[in-house]
Homo-oligomer: A and B are copies of this chain.
């Protein structure tokens, strides 16, 4: 795992895009082909088979040429009639944006609000469903990228939705492929992710799964407002093995290769690697003397939210780390502006990425006058990372 720092010149430890392994980058160089010919049909069939394994789904899966937001729009817009109530958990920047987007699709968002840094509980969803028996769907941001919080009760929420015959849409953009999400087992009707996060591809592709229950709602929808994101159109074309609109072929090559790497590693091993890398980050940052932003039980294994040293703005800290130490870190958003930074622990990460990131944060915070416990931090990272299995390559 892990691409060498020298080859990417710079390490991007962002909550997306992430470091793309050279093997995946090189795949993009395959010659372009027509997207209506037999070669693309074959690539499409391969990619679909592999991504369905990663999503642990036997349901329909569509690959869009959009960012993750495009796929979220595709999932929600296709199930939302004007005035439909959609229950959305709001616990950070991206979930707030999702609730906002629901309005654009004609829906009425019913929000479940949690403090930033905390996850909503199953009980909150139960209450919201009880208070809104006419709700058409629950939309959950499984991993809130702005706060580094994972909704660990997702499986329970899925059961709740299944029991009450309400659709469950999951925004898994910053987590799928990096933490557990068996789409079928957990009763997820529409699952969305994007290529440039834990799937370690360049950005430009996004994914939507669609269950039979979701199809029933889609088919009964009164007005289909989009053409480019119309799911019935995708289904119609996919029956012949193609996409309705020109796909980003080079990115399909990259995805095909990335899926091979993911399945070679194995999903459970992959989740375990993400968990250990994230723990190494959390343990080392605490040892360094920094606070963690997310409550312990909801800390994400794919994006770590770290409080800045007292009196140091995250933009200043990150700029120093970027320029002097060659590592890109994620910034703070909205409510937490200036107070924290984020470390992406996604896809192609292992000891080289984590150790050098911890070292860079330690050096930069020391440079800026913070009394950092540098050796303790490094030792905490090393110790945690020593639990990683022997490297395969």
Which residue on chain B has the smallest CB distance to residue A322? Answer: B37
Chain A residues 105 to 161 lying within 8 A of chain B, measured CB to CB, are 105-106
A368 within 8 A of B: no
Chain A residues 16 to 70 lying within 8 A of chain B, measured CB to CB, are 16-20, 25-26, 28-29, 31-37, 65-70
Interface pair A203/B35, CB less than 8 Å apart: yes
Q: A250: shortest Cβ distance to chain B, in Å?
A: 4
Interface pair A67/B70, CB less than 8 Å apart: no
Interface pair B31/A10, CB less than 8 Å apart: yes
- Find A250's partner among B28, B244, B247 (CB 8 Å cutoff): B28
Using A204-B204, A246-B196, A248-B248 as known contacts, say yes or no to A73 and B227 having CB atoms under 8 A apart: yes
A379 within 8 A of B: no
Which residue on chain B has the smallest CB distance to residue A8? Answer: B31
CA distance A250 to B244 in the complex (A): 23
Interface pair A328/B249, CB less than 8 Å apart: no
- Find A204's partner among B19, B20, B65, B104 (CB 8 Å cutoff): B65
Chain B neighbourhood of A223, CB < 8 A: 106
Interface pair A247/B29, CB less than 8 Å apart: no
A331 within 8 A of B: yes
Q: A276: shortest Cβ distance to chain B, in Å?
A: 24
Chain B neighbourhood of A196, CB < 8 A: 32, 246
Interface pair A105/B225, CB less than 8 Å apart: yes
Interface pair A69/B245, CB less than 8 Å apart: yes
CA distance A70 to B29 in the complex (A): 25
Chain B neighbourhood of A14, CB < 8 A: 34
- Find A67's partner among B18, B230, B247, B331 (CB 8 Å cutoff): B247
Interface pair B29/A29, CB less than 8 Å apart: yes
A212 within 8 A of B: no
CA distance A331 to B36 in the complex (A): 9
Interface pair B29/A28, CB less than 8 Å apart: yes
A183 within 8 A of B: no
A240 within 8 A of B: no
Interface pair A194/B104, CB less than 8 Å apart: no
Using A69-B227, A194-B246, A246-B203 as known contacts, say yes or no to A17 and B29 having CB atoms under 8 A apart: no
Q: A242: shortest Cβ distance to chain B, in Å?
A: 13
Chain B neighbourhood of A31, CB < 8 A: 8-10, 12
Chain B neighbourhood of A69, CB < 8 A: 227-228, 244-246
Interface pair B70/A228, CB less than 8 Å apart: yes
CA distance A17 to B66 in the complex (A): 18
Interface pair B202/A32, CB less than 8 Å apart: yes
CA distance A322 to B31 in the complex (A): 15
Chain B neighbourhood of A104, CB < 8 A: 224-227, 230
Interface pair B248/A202, CB less than 8 Å apart: yes
Interface pair B106/A225, CB less than 8 Å apart: yes
A312 within 8 A of B: no
Chain B neighbourhood of A25, CB < 8 A: 28-29
Using A104-B230, A226-B73 as known contacts, say yes or no to A37 and B249 having CB atoms under 8 A apart: no
Chain A residues 209 to 261 lying within 8 A of chain B, measured CB to CB, are 223-230, 244-251
- Other A-B pairs beyond A105-B225, A225-B225, 7, CB < 8 Å: A32-B202, A37-B328, A65-B66, A66-B228, A70-B245, A204-B250, A228-B229
Could you write out 11 A-B pairs with CB less than 8 Å apart? A17-B32, A29-B29, A37-B322, A66-B70, A67-B246, A68-B246, A70-B245, A73-B227, A202-B249, A204-B204, A204-B251
